[in-house]
Amino acid sequence: MRTYLVTGGAGFIGSNYIHYMFRKYGDAIRIINVDALTYAGNLENLREVEDRDNYTFVRADITDKEAIQKIFEEYDIDRVVHFAAESHVDRSIRTPEVFIKTNVLGTAVMLNCAKDAWELPDGSYREGKKFLHVSTDEVYGSLEEDGGYFYETTPYDPHSPYSASKASSDFLVKAYIDTYHFPANITNCSNNYGPYQFPEKLIPLIINNALHGKKLPVYGDGKNVRDWLYVDDHAKGIDMVQEMGRLGETYNIGGHNEKQNIEIIHIILETLLEMLPQDDARRAHISKDLITYVEDRKGHDRRYAIAPDKIKAEIGWEPETMFKDGIKKTIAWFFEHEDWMENVTSGEYQKYYDEMYKEK
């Protein structure tokens, strides 16, 4: 049975990846999920899998070398999928040192612990061991509005403390590949959306605020462009890179769904009205009049767009979910999980760990 160590598995992308892997492989794999359960880590995301015999949750910080070493000693880890990171740009502007600690030091700890566990006396590595570092397109900086794309060869040009910390972690992984021939890959993805996304991010924030008649904040003129990737498509891409990617290579995973932020908001409002029953009182709350332009974010990149040509050519992955289909799936999920959103926005989700694990 292949054993995966997933860091940050209680977060948005990590939890979706765990669900995807169990849907695909069932009992043929084991997953060890390590998460510090900071504000965005939510074990309620994994209720459906927590009782599986082949799933284990460990509460630990990736900067805690002793805790991570213990996991490698206790389990024969075959694959590391490293999601754990501080990821919100606004928070990085307020508290950059937190991002440096988690994203840079945490990645160094993960690399060292995996290397120590997998390396043989001759400097080679035990067969079948792989480390996948999940990163972002934000490390490449900003594109002009009128064209161009991020490729794996695009020079790094990060502009926020968040993207700078992720760029630093990418370079650490690259250094281990070059210096130690460490068996690793890097993936750089575009903006994800879908189930379980913490409502400080644009799409769940707009969905939740619109349903409650709250203001819909938009930075600057609202014309900043992002490439949107449905989270299940991302999970599939990560798995395919693990299985078929050339060791040492970087693969960009993009959604081919470029949209301005203001366009995203209009699509969400239209889709909510399309999906809500005619007698649902919340329809009265939903209005473009809620859109409120606010002072632009410091260092706000204008446009991101990934060219996933390499991953398609070498591995055969391409995005399957167009944005209008993905946003309908996302809204439908939020309709079916209103208790999840209520718990997250009220802070009640943070009690879940104690309730579930204090006796274990």
The mean pLDDT value of the chain amounts to: 93
C-alpha triplet 326, 245, 147: angle, nearest 5°? 55
Q: How far apart are CA 360 and CA 349, in angstroms?
A: 19
Domain boundaries, the chain: 2-357
What is the rounded average pLDDT of the residues 232-258? 96
Model confidence at 360, pLDDT cuts 50, 70, 90, reads: very low
pLDDT, one tens digit per residue, over 45-89 is: 999 999 999 999 999 999 999 999 999 999 999 999 999 998 777
Q: Which residues are catalytic?
A: 137-138, 162
* Helix then strand then coil, % of the chain, to nearest 5: 50, 20, 35
Q: Which residues contact 175 (CB under 8 A, 6 or more apart)?
A: none
pLDDT of 344:
87
The alpha helices in the chain, defined as continuous H runs, are 12-25, 65-74, 89-94, 96-99, 106-118, 161-180, 202-211, 231-244, 261-275, 309-315, 323-336, 338-346, 352-357
Q: Report the topology of domain 2-357.
A: Rossmann fold (3.40.50)
